[in-house]
Amino acid sequence: MAEEHPAAAYVRFYEALSPATVADLQSVVHDDVRFKDPFNEVVGLKAYTALLNAMFRAAPDIQFEVLHTSYDGDACFLRWNSRGTVKALGKDPWVIQGMSELRFADDGRVISHIDYWDAAAQFYERIPVVGAIIRFIRRRVAAH
């Protein structure tokens, strides 16, 4: 039987992530982890834990689903969806589609997690005034 890639444990952790499991982050993340997404960049387990706790305060029902996993050496690439309700932005659920690049420390835990997703189309455009401006700009610069 082939040995499981370290990303498998991280994917399981993220798909089961809840306010109660954030405290277990150290089991899959290195102490010196770097996390980056379109809104945040933090370094260290303590900062990443704080970021996840803040995420659950803003979107208590957020869930992640990993749709595809690809490995290349010490890198892993994930395609995923997140779904949840952002309390400050209304009652309708938000779905974000994104990709993650993971790198692993020698002990198999994640040392770098960088998320890539279109914040303009999937976030800013849903905010009433800002969204109208972004849609206007997008139409003006689009190839016809």
User: pTM of the predicted model, to two decimals?
Assistant: 0.82
For 22, the domain range is 6-117
Q: Which two tokens stand for residue 58?
A: 């803003």
Residue 77 lies in a domain: yes
| Residue 134 domain flag | no
Domain with 54 in it: what CATH number? Answer: 3.10.450.50
Whether residue 143 lies inside any domain: the answer is no
Whole-number pLDDT of residue 61: 94
Whether residue 39 is contained in a domain is answered as: yes
Mean pLDDT by 10 residues, the chain (144 residues): 82 96 97 95 98 94 96 92 82 88 95 87 62 68 71
Please tell me the predicted confidence (pLDDT) of residue 73.
82
- 138 located within any domain: no
Q: What is the pLDDT of residue 32?
A: 98
Task: Look at residue 110 and tell me if it is in a domain.
Answer: yes
Residue 48 forms part of a structural domain: yes
The total of structural domains in the chain comes to 1
123 within some domain: no
